[in-house]
Structure 1
Amino acid sequence: MTSSPRGASSDQGYLLDNARAQAGERFTWLAALFDGVTRGHFDQLGVAAGWRCWEVGAGGPSIPQALAAAVGPTGYVLATDLNPGWLQPQDGYEVLRHDIVADPPPQPGTFDLVHARLVLVHVPDRARALATMVAALRPGGWLLIEDADTELQPLACLDEVGPAQQRANRLRRAVRDLMTGRGADLRYGRTLPRALRAAGLVDVAAAGCFPVGGVACDRLETATVSMVRAELLAAGLTDDAEIDAHLAAVDAGELDLTLAPLISAWGRRPE
């Protein structure tokens, strides 16, 4: 979402694999939808020149680039992923292949900010991944986790006025079924404040947002459905005709598509 699963951990069951051709398209439109939200939280937390930042499960390059610009030449940005092939270290940040569940934290106790977006929802061992990120913080450092809560708002089309919208919602339910079968926790977003407190962080707070309509939602939907088409068909959850009709409706701009709410939660490691 940035993001790649598990920052991510090697589980072939992950549905939205970075290695697939559509991953780059998804990164582009997720950035268009959510980078402004994420950068706003960076500003709120005071990210500035000289900060040391770790972007977990970075997926695409947009957030590491934004962090590198914010911390400047006196700061440091590390971007990690299980599959870091979409990252561009020449843009002012370091790239490392890292499994957020299996590997120890890089440079423990040194980061002013650790951030992950749309990563932990896909990680079965979320508590361990969270502990790894907390261990990387310096005293006083901030952890910012942003994850979806698909069950909080499960629809593709809020205004289910006709067959095209009903079809879109059927396909969204089918994708949710696939994700659940691969170990995703579709209620994870709402648990983030509690999870951060349980991890020992203080000054915990959270906010949520979700977009409705527009080109970015449409293009993300097309990339996502195309990416998981084979799995939907293999599971018997839909057929080619339904997928083709849905993609045609999206391409024609007939649907006001939306996403699950993105819950952003942050907390500080005690001094």
Structure 2
Amino acid sequence: MSAAESGDAPHGGRYGESVFRPEQAGEDERIDFGALAYDDITMARLRALGVGPGWDCLDVGAGTGTVSRRLLEEAGVASVLAVDRDVRFLEARRIPGLRVLEADVTAPGSVPGRFRLVHARFVLMHLPERERLVCALAELVAPGGVLVLSDAVDLTNERTPATPYSAAMRAMWEGLRATIGTDVSWVPSCPHLLRDAGLVSVAAEVHVPPLLPGGPLSRFWADTWERSRAAMLATGLVDDAGVDAAVRYLGSDECAALSAGMLTAWGRRPEADSP
């Protein structure tokens, strides 16, 4: 998960500046809670796509670098270039084979070269011009390589039972949309965007890790709400008492809810690009 990968939102806010600031104490721990919930899923998909020895990899919005390091230590890839707008967490945990680049992927030409794997998780949902960026990331994939994109899908709807959790999640999505431009409504269209970008063998899957009292995903959402509390309150959908109630609900045996899911879509660049 990105520590600070973002572009301008409709109201000028940016991930890592308006909310989720990397200099705020505990931000790396919040990111790591999400990694504990999703890294095994991500790594299983990457291994199934053949990622392994000899691969040169690009990890966009690498956050604390958990996926980057696992690619090196477990998958045995040749190298990983980990990119983020703020690389303090990556530098603090650098290992052999891990290259670090501080860059904004929304800027053309910010990442040099081509890679057999290009991976970005929970990045595009926070960025404007997503269709352009999917095409830009696809251009970084070497012939025969794969682009793997993961973002959140909101599983709540008008029939979702009214609980402190569902109220907080609605307020969070609305607050982040207004503050930094976060939008997950487009995520189910990601496979089509990969096809439009010229990739083949496109497919997708959705995973929803369980919300368990004291579990990493529950702790991730509780920390996320605390750090986006002002944006949530500004929506008028919850008040301070409502956010506090949602945090308590996550930590209780009464919790019976679905987390946001993670949709992962992938596609392969043909071995020989068309002239």
Indicate the TM-score class for this superposition, using the shorter chain for normalisation. Answer: 0.7 to 0.9
> For 1:122-158, what per-residue CA distance to the aligned partner results, in whole angstroms no more than 9, with x for missing partners?
11111222222112111111000011122xx127x96
Aligned residue type for 1:104: G
- RMSD over aligned Cα atoms: 2.2
State the alpha-carbon separation in 2 of the partners of residues 248 and 149 from structure 1.
24
1:147/1:263 contact within 8 Å kept: yes
**Structure 1 residues not aligned, in runs of 5+:** none
Match of 1:8 among 6, 9, 21: 6
Provide the residue aligned with 2:205 in structure 1.
Answer: 207
Output one character per residue of 1:199-251: Cα deviation in whole Å (capped at 9) or x when no partner: 01011111111123211232112111111112223444322222223223333
Q: Is the 8 A contact 1:217 1:258 kept in 2?
A: no
Secondary structure of 1:33 counterpart: helix
- Give the structure 1 partner of residue 102 of structure 2: 97
2:217 is aligned to 217
By how many angstroms is 1:183 displaced? Answer: 2.0
Percent identity over paired residues:
33
Q: What is the rounded CA distance, in whole Å, between the counterparts of 2:265 and 2:61 in structure 1? A: 17
CA displacement 1:10-66 (0-9 Å, x = unmatched): 653436534233432321221111111100111111111111000001112210101
1:63 aligns with 2:78: no
Q: 1:22 to 1:105 in 2, by over 3 A?
A: same
Could you list the runs of 5+ residues in structure 2 that have no partner in the other structure? none
TM-score using structure 1 length: 0.87
Partners of 2:34 and 2:245 in 1: CA distance = 24
CA distance 1:185–1:240, shift in 2 (3 Å): closer
How many residue pairs match? The answer is: 259
| In structure 2, C-alpha distance between the alignment counterparts of 1:141 and 1:66, rounded to whole Å | 19
Could you tell me which amino acid in structure 2 is paired with residue 169 of structure 1? S
- Partner Cα distance (1:106, 1:221) in 2: 31
Residue 58 of structure 2 corresponds to residue 54 of structure 1: yes
Separation (CA, whole Å) in 1 of partners of 2:198 and 2:129: 18
Deviation by residue 1:100-126 (Cα, 9 ceiling, x = unmatched): 111415233x31100001111111111
Q: Does residue 1:227 correspond to 2:227, yes or no?
A: yes
What secondary structure does 1:90 align onto?
A: coil
Residue in 1 aligned with 2:265?
Answer: 265
TM-score of the pair, normalised by structure 2: 0.85
- Paired letter, 2:107: A
> Which of 167, 170, 173 is 1:173 aligned to?
170
Deviation by residue 1:38-97 (Cα, 9 ceiling, x = unmatched): 00111111111111000001112210101112454x711000011112112235301111
Kindly indicate which of the two structures has a greater share of residues assigned to helix.
1
Aligned to 2:156: 154
1:172-201 per-residue CA deviation (whole Å, 9 max, x = no partner) reads 111111122232222222111100000010
